[in-house]
Amino acid sequence: MLQAIRNIVTGWVAVIIFVLLIIPFAFWGIDSYFGTSTISAAKVNGIDVSMAEYQRTFQTVRQQWQNISPDMAEQPEFIKQQTLDTLVNRLLLVELKDELELRVNSDQVRVSINEIPAFHNPEGFDNVAYQNFLLTQGYTPVRFETQVREDMSLEQIQSGLLETVISPKADALRLAALQLQTRDYRYALIAHDKLKEGVSNSEAEIQDFYQKNLQDFMSTEDVTLAYLHLSADTIAQGLTVDEASLKAFFDATQQNYSVAERRKVKQILVYTEKDNKDKAVEVAKEIHGLVTAGTSFDEIKTKYSHNADVTVEVSDFGFINKGVLDKAIDDAVFALSKGGISEPVTTEFGQQILLVEDITGGTSATFEQARAEVELDYRKEQAQKRFVELYDELAVQTYENPETLEVASESLGLPIQQSGILTRDSASEPLLNDPRVLTAAFSDEVLLNKNNSSLIEIAENDVVVVRLTEHHPKSQKALTDVHDNVNDRLLAEKATAKAKVNGEEIKQKLVQGSTAEALATEYSLTWNQQFGAKRESTDLDREILQKAFKAAKPVGSATVEGSAMVNGDYVVILLDAVHDVPADALTEESVLPVKNYLRQSISNRTFGLLMDDLRKRAKIEIFDANL
């Protein structure tokens, strides 16, 4: 790639690049490039939010919204605001956390990381997966641990709010009673489909409906694309491997093919005020003597729970791989045999006494046993290296030759592939049916300028470059082509209106005293009966159920309700009875979920008010020109 750049930057191109570099130096000085100043996205109470942090968070927020709503994920201004809110709120919470002196110790951080499912394989914590994550996300181990520590501290604020929230018992009982209330009701449907037979449309009506709804009868804009697909998986499949290379790879990575030794660890932490550390050391020695003599950790916790001089905590780390805990603790743990208890270890948190309850793993595989896995890993590693090389070349070739994919295709040996039809919402090929590809396909650069797209990362080590082959803009469909569709739409509207008229008539007659049976005969209705329907019943029509539970309690006679439904039908409801649950019939088990819901709801509302207050009192600057 460096040679390619060297070839490019010659002659008049070099002059242009030189001028482009000189202008910024002239205006802002060399300090802008080599000094300590950085471009900020925002500033919160004097603390800068770097552009790197903004861009990283922007991509994270966008990915989250792609899972929630792909349409919203493609709204840059919306994602920008969500990103800024996330960053500002986080900084404000960090300030609050520091004021409250909330802390999370390193062991808690390591255990939390160790429990993340993405870093696990069947044998336990997978250090290779962990290191790959750090590499792809641009984290160092220290920076990631700092991030996790901060996240855990911020969670303490929200959990603290939840713990302080009181859910009034009367409110919980009332809401539980409403949740458990049942209702008896009858309903009849006036189906609009059955009423279509009695209506018809004139050609004039069809013409008029078509003219008034032209936007509903447009062809879908679509494109077809040519594209290059570069994938590490494809590269891996095409590699030629030999036994000597596989054995050398195995020798260098043999630790990956063993079942890592893991130890189940329990600890006693003894700590006190900073100016009284000697007391913690004294008590830790005393506790060590007790546990080595047979006193259980739980008994120790009970014995020292009310000690005014020191704090004694007992915690269970579960199974831990080597390298997860701080070095002093790690060394002590992995020097013990099963059932062994360490001497008190002095750490920044106090005195730690460790018990190894169990040991698993520690076995190694031979090359012959692991050969299949070794080959897969070797192919993957070599393919990733080759992918990086080809990625750079693909980016250069498609950028330098924006009007064609052929140069890149010949240079990299990648076939130019042809897509099926793509719309702004979907593509026929799974590979291209990705919001990022669809956005690129209909971008100005590809659609209007007829250039190659930038490299589109559709998965890790998997990219495509697309260019336009054909474009069919949205266009008005002729009435002759959509005549049947227009006719059906108009018939449905008329039938829906007629269903509503009939439904309102039936509803009115019921209110005036007509019986359900008489109206069933007159209008060919079928009354469906539901006894003891619950508010959360999943086997009943949800729309009808909600309408039945919105109806007022019957007094003397059934309550009559009726309304149009989403599908065009009309429903008439007779609410016959409401069965409330007596307060003394409510069990603690039935009230607990409601109580928890109320506590969470109050906590969320309180947290929202807290954030509003923090923002009002903060000095927040947003540098829109940099975004």
Residue ranges of E strands in 388-431:
417-418
Q: What is the mean pLDDT of residues 174-199?
A: 90
H-state helical runs in 29-50: 31-34
Calculate the average pLDDT of the chain. 85
Q: Is the pLDDT of residue 272 over 60?
A: yes
Of 154-158, 292-296, 415-419, least confident by mean pLDDT is 154-158
Amino acid identity of residue 175, one-letter, is L
Q: Would you state the structure tokens that stand for residue 502, as one six-digit string? A: 């009939």
Picking from 619, 615, 613, the residue whose alpha carbon sits closest to that of residue 89 is 615
Residue 17, both tokens: 């690049």
Residues 319, 325, 329: CA angle, nearest 5 degrees:
105
pLDDT for 494-549, tens place per residue? 999 999 999 999 999 999 999 999 999 999 999 999 999 998 888 999 999 999 99
The answer to whether 216 and 336 are in contact (CB under 8 A) is: no
| DSSP state letter for 445 | I
pLDDT at 163: 73
| Token duo for residue 388 | 């990086």
- Residues 235-256 as b or e (16 or more Cβ within 10 Å = b): bbeeeeeeeeebeebbeeeeeb
Q: What pLDDT, in 10s, does the model give residues 121-173?
A: 776 777 777 877 776 666 777 778 888 888 888 888 877 777 777 777 788 88
Q: How far is CA 414 from CA 1, 241, 379, in A?
A: 18, 21, 19
User: Encoding tokens for residue 344?
Assistant: 């008190």
> Of 37-51, 181-195, 200-214, which gets the smallest average pLDDT?
37-51
> Residue 383 is encoded by which pair of tokens?
């393919």
The DSSP element (H or E) to which 471 belongs, if any, is strand 462-472
pLDDT value of residue 209? 94
Q: Which amino acid is at 460?
A: E
Max CA pair span of the chain: 100
Contact between 576 and 554 (Cβ < 8 Å): yes
The span from the CA of 480 to the CA of 474, in Å, is 18
| CA 398 – CA 455 distance, rounded (Å) | 9
Query: What pTM did the predictor assign?
Result: 0.51
Which amino acid belongs to residue 453? Answer: S
SS3 221: coil
Cα separation, 491 vs 201, whole angstroms: 7
State the DSSP string of 244-263.
HHHHHHHHHTGGGGEE--EE
Output phi, psi for 462, to 5 deg.
Answer: -150, 110
Going by pLDDT thresholds of 50, 70 and 90, the confidence category of residue 350 is confident
Cβ-proximal residues to 302 (8 Å cutoff; 6+ apart), any chain: none
At residue 130, what are phi and psi to the nearest 5 degrees? -65, -45
Mean local confidence (pLDDT), 244-268: 86
DSSP at 478: P
Is there a contact between 213 and 364 (Cβ–Cβ < 8 Å)?
no
Residue 275's pLDDT band (boundaries 50, 70, 90)? low
Which pLDDT belongs to residue 31?
Answer: 35
Q: In this predicted structure, what is the pLDDT of residue 274?
A: 62
Query: In Å, how far are 36, 488, 563 from 572, measured between CA atoms?
Result: 73, 26, 7
Per-residue pLDDT, 57 = 86
Is 559:553 a contact under the CB 8 Å cutoff?
Answer: yes
116, 120, 125, 127 alpha-carbon torsion, rounded to 10°: -100
Beta strand ranges found along 59-128 (DSSP E) = 120-121, 124-125
| Residue 5 clears pLDDT 70, i.e. is over it | no
pLDDT bracket for residue 305 (50, 70, 90): confident
Residues 18-29 pLDDT 10s = 333 333 333 333
Residue 453 to residue 460: CA distance in whole angstroms: 18
CA-CA distance, 210 to 212, in Å (whole number)? 6
First to last CA, the chain: 30
- 282 burial type by CB count under 10 A (0-12 exposed, 13-18 middle, 19+ buried): middle
**Each residue's pLDDT tens digit, 78-89:** 989 999 999 999
